[in-house]
Structure formats: structure tokens, C-alpha cells
Amino acid sequence: MTVVTLTVNDELISANAGQTVLEAVRDSGGNIPTMCHLDGLSNYGGCRLCLIELGGSPKLSPACFTQVQEGMVVFTHTDRLIKYRKMVIELLLSERNHICAVCVMNGNCELQAMAAELGVDNVRYDYLSPKLAMDASHELFTLDHNRCILCRRCMRACDEIEGSHVWDISGRGIDSMVITGLNMPWGESDVCTKCGKCVQVCPTGALSKKGSSVAEMKKDPVCLRWVLDGRQKGIWDYEKRATRLAQV
């Protein structure tokens, strides 16, 4: 594998050709904030938190999509970027209804953690507070649109890992909403396998297990890597397992 060298915040790091800047920076121990990205899922590029500056370009680039190149000069935490990241979180918080004190994810929420990490201590924009319905028709899970940040992780997990494609988006712009099935109550979708991956990967309290009360919902998005590793190793594949067992 070809190795390339790039400069990140004035330090040299090496990376494998074909990696994204996000992967390279994280592999070398650094960090770039992300929200819509999740290891194991395809990239989406919607949250714009991972924007970075590239030397020689006035444009900002999403780290989750940008491929490393030899000699690339990357800045991940300039004043401009930090300011914009805060604004993204402010916009997200203003969009729907994020009253942590009464949320099942309080204390475990990625949005909340990100706001704290980036130092978002107030929201300058008016809260739009749309009054959106909840969907509790599923026997195991609940969907609360009021907490959804439209990151589409649920959609990608269900489509790409579980292979069900229960989730999609209806409407556009500020009226976008996640939907289940053909815009039917979740409980009526007969393609949902009830695996719960969407719930595990959802960064906020939008998807939760039924019965969880305030601050009781904990999620494990890393489960995806686990599923994928298992699939690669053929844990659920009888033939592969037999040969592997034979080898032991």
C-alpha cells in the first residue's frame, strides 16, 4: 500500500493512499468533530462539522470526503472553522426541540456532547420549535422527530448494514422528515426486522428503546463495526465458520 505524507496543523503525519483526511487524522491520534459520519457507514457530507482548510485553497472541504494526497497541507482547527462549527450546532439546536432535561438521551447524547465540546453556551437564533408528532407504533422503539437532526445515520445503517431500507426522507429543506416504509407508522412497516441498528446509531434521542425514561437511553454506535467485522470474518456463515474452526 502506498504511503503518503501530509501536514496537519503543522505536524507531519503519514497515511495510506485512499484514506480520507478524517481517517488519517484520527489514525494519527488527532480529532476532527463529526456528526453525520459514522465508521462503517457510507459518508454523507451533510453536517459540515468536519470542514477543514486546505493550504492553497480558499474553499473549505469536508474531511470525511477529502482523499489524502502527498504533500497536502491541512488545518483542522482554525478560528474560522471553530466559529462555523459552533454555528452549525447552534443552527441544529434551533431547528427542532432539544430540551435535554426531559430527553431520554440526556447525558449520553452526541449532539449535547458536541455542543459542550465546542463551547456552545447559547443559541443566537430563534428556536423554530415545530410541533412534530412522535411515532410510538413500533413494539420496541420510539421515533421522536423533535429530536432528529436529519443526519441520516439511521437510513444508512438500515440500508447498508441491515439491508432493509426502512428509512428514507420525505419533503425537502426545512420540511425534511425521516420516514419509515412508504411514510407509514413504523410499526406497520413489514420490512423492519426489529434489529435496532438505527436506534444504536442515532446520535440523539430521536430514536430510543421503548420504556427508557429521561437519561436512561444509552447507545452503542460502535456495534456497527462489530457487525461488519463479524460479517467479514464470516461469523454467521456456517461454511466459513466450519473451515475456520477446522483450522484452529
Partner 1 sequence: MNKRELEAAAQSELERQKKFCHRVLCCNSTSCMSAGAGEVLKTLQQSVEDNNLQKEIEVSPAGCMGLCSAGPMVTVQSSDSENTLYKEVSPKVAKEIIESHIVKETPIDDNIIPSDFPFFAKQMKLVLAHSGLINPARFEEYVALGGYNALAHVLRDMTPSEVCETIHKSGLRGRGGGGYPAGLKWNLVRRSQGSHKFVIANCDEGDPGAYMDRTLVESNPHQLLEGMAIAGYAVGADQGYIFVRGGYPGASKRLDQLETAIRSAERNNLLGGRILNSKFGFRIDLRVGAGAFVCGEETALMASVMGRRGQPVPRPPYPSDKGLWGYPTLINNVESLSSVSTIINHGAENYSKIGTTGSKGTKIFALAGQLKYTGLIEVPMGITLREIVYDIGGGMLDGRTFKAAQTGGPSGGCIPAEHLDIEIDYEKFREIGSSVGSGGLIVLDNQSCMPDLARFFMEFCMDESCGKCVPCRVGTRQTYDILDNITKGSATMDDLVKLEDLCIMMQETSLCGLGQAAPNPILSTLRYFRDEYEAHIKDHFCPATECKITKSPILDLVNGKG
List residues binding ligand SF4 (CB under 6 A): 148-154, 178, 202-204, 206-207
In the complex with ligand FES, which residue's Cβ is closer, 18 or 45? 45
Which three-class secondary structure state does DSSP give residue 6? strand
Distance between terminal CA atoms of the chain?
A: 29
Site for partner 1 in 32-61 (CB under 8 A): 44-48, 51, 59-60
For the four alpha carbons of 16, 17, 22 and 23, in that order, the dihedral sign comes to negative
Residue 82 binding partner per list ligand FES, ligand SF4, partner 1, none, with a CB distance cut-off of 5 to 8 Å that depends on partner kind:
none
Binding-site member from 172, 213, 232, 247 for partner 1 (CB under 8 A): 172
Residues 6+ apart with CB under 8 A from 163: none
- 144 with 206: CB under 8 angstroms? yes
Amino acid symbol at 1: M
In the list partner 1, ligand FES, ligand SF4, none, the entry touching 125 (Cβ below 5 to 8 angstroms by class) is partner 1
| Residue 154: contacted member of ligand FES, partner 1, ligand SF4, none (CB under 5 to 8 Å, by partner type) | ligand SF4
In the shown chain, the binding pattern of residues 100 to 139 toward partner 1, with x for contact by CB under 8 A and - for none, equals ------------------------xxx-x-----------
Interface pick for partner 1 out of 8, 24, 92, 148 (rule CB under 8 A): 92
Taking the CB of residue 146, how many other CB atoms lie within 10 A of it? Answer: 20
Rounded-to-integer distance, Cα 51 and Cα 43, Å = 13
Helices (H), the chain: 21-27, 79-95, 110-118, 153-156, 197-201, 223-233, 238-247
Minimum Å distance from CB 45 to ligand FES? Answer: 5
Which residues are at the interface with ligand FES (CB under 6 A)? 34-37, 45-50, 62, 64
Nearest approach, Cβ of residue 202 and ligand SF4 (Å): 3
